[in-house]
Amino acid sequence: MTELIKKLLGWCPVKEQIIKEEEFMFSNENRTVTQLKSNSKIFLGVIHLAFALYLISTALRVLSQPNTRMFSWWTMDINFVASGLLLTIGIISLVLSFSFVRRDNSYDNVCKILALANIALAIAFFAYLHQFMAHIRYSGVAVLIRGPLSNYTFDQPTLIAYSVLIALPALLSVLMLFRSIREPHIPKTRNKSYLTIAITVILVAAASVGLVVYYNHLNQQKASMVVEEFGENREIKLYALNDDFVAGTWMGGQDVSYFIDSKEFTSGRFISQDTYDAIRFLGETGGADAAVVMAWWDSTLEIEAAGKTPVICYASERIEHTVARPTSINEFEPDERVADVAWFFVTDSAEEAKGIADEYGATIVYLPRYYGPSLFWAMTEALDQKSEVSSQSEIEQSYEQSMYYRLISCSDPEPFERIFENDDVCIYRLG
């Protein structure tokens, strides 16, 4: 009787079976989609955890280098700013790794915010280091590991690759989270999301405070090592190095007693007692005709510390690729001026060299000897036309006939008068 009534009302046993099968299939399909989403989140969580450990350890390793405290100011700043950015990205990634392993969607919104923050920080990391571009190249995939451990120095393609690599987990997270199906959030879930953001902010703030305290501590160490200040505004400082400082660093066993540095220039450098003696001698070389010094731009700090004016203070844009360290100087010297100074040292004619010096009013020549031939080849890069030499013997011959070689080897070419010499520096006066 019951089945008869159902049939009269349109009941069909076959249709009911189909509906049950469809409900079963939909239930299984929904369970499969949920399972796939959960597995994807776990996968992204593992990626974030791996990156968090890598970025945090990288930043801490750079900051813990024993000679960090005496790097020149721009490198110290690069270390701290770049390390701070990587620590922040690492902390956020660490929080994301724990949020992603949850199998529900209760933290989707907070994960979106944190992932977008990591992308923004990766862009900031790229933008900051791009203005301190160092033309240092390594071979192979090792650049992605070795680069940030060398004070965050990259060439441009590697910096782009490294920044994208840092942002990649966050990019994947954002893509997955914005495609996910939204579920209703209850107040407790929202409170948990706010708590996650609050914990992230506290961890980032704690890391920032720690960096500031450590940075100030290192600056106090530097200030205690100052032995002399040069320049009108005392902006060039000379630091004395003691045995405790150089112990365990690459400077151990090297003949470097001092470090000269200035925030107004591209770099500081380690110098020996001989170079310090040359600076003092140059400073005592009086007369208005001894105010301008012919030298390559690498020696600018030493010349300005002596109260003199170098013909060029920095490289030209043409030879920017020869600058193997970051710089804060945005204005290059004119190409023609740098080329003239280069030709002064590259030419084999003493009279031609004197004519260039007269053109710029230079009466003193300052030559560091510790660079060796490498400085000569950097000078040739600045010339309008590179010398047409191919064989090794022709290259050596052009070097040995140059004014640079004749001056550092103290062959005393006329009309240059040698007025100072030690193991590290030669100084000449134009007669």
- Give 345's pLDDT tier (boundaries 50, 70, 90): very high
| Second-level CATH architecture of 286-430 | 3-Layer(aba) Sandwich (3.40)
Instruction: Compute the Cα dihedral for 38, 40, 43, 48 and give only its sign.
Output: negative
> What residue segments make up the domains of the chain, in order of their start?
2-218, 286-430
> CA-CA distance, 197 to 208, in Å (whole number)?
16
DSSP code string of 106-124: TTHHHHHHHHHHHHHHHHH
Residue owning tokens 């441009």 = 156
pLDDT band at 33 (very low <50, low <70, confident <90, very high): very low
252-255-258-260 Cα dihedral, nearest 10 degrees: -110
How wide is the angle at C-alpha 147 spanned by C-alphas 142 and 152, nearest 5°? 170
Q: What is the dihedral of CA 411, 417, 423, 424, to 10 degrees?
A: -110
118 φ, ψ (degrees, to nearest 5): -65, -40
The three-class DSSP label of residue 205 is: helix
Residues 52-70 have pLDDT tens digits of 999 999 999 888 875 555 5
Q: Give 3's pLDDT tier (boundaries 50, 70, 90).
A: low
Whether residue 172 is predicted with pLDDT greater than 50 in this model: the reply is yes
| Non-local CB neighbours of 216 within 8 Å, separated by 6+ positions | none
Closest listed residue to residue 219, CA positions, set 69, 83, 81: 69
Place of tokens 């031609």: 352
Q: Is 421 helix (H, G, I), strand (E, B) or coil?
A: strand
Give tens-digit pLDDT for 79-136.
889 999 999 999 999 988 887 766 556 667 888 888 999 999 999 999 988 877 655 5
Q: Please, are residues 318 and 336 in contact by the beta-carbon 8 Å criterion?
A: no
Q: In the structure, what pLDDT confidence band is assigned to residue 34 with cuts at 50, 70 and 90? A: very low
Name the residue with higher pLDDT: 283 or 264: 283
Inform me whether the pLDDT recorded for 147 exceeds 80: no
Q: Over the stretch 365-398, which tens digit does the pLDDT of each residue have?
A: 999 988 878 888 888 888 865 555 555 666 778 8
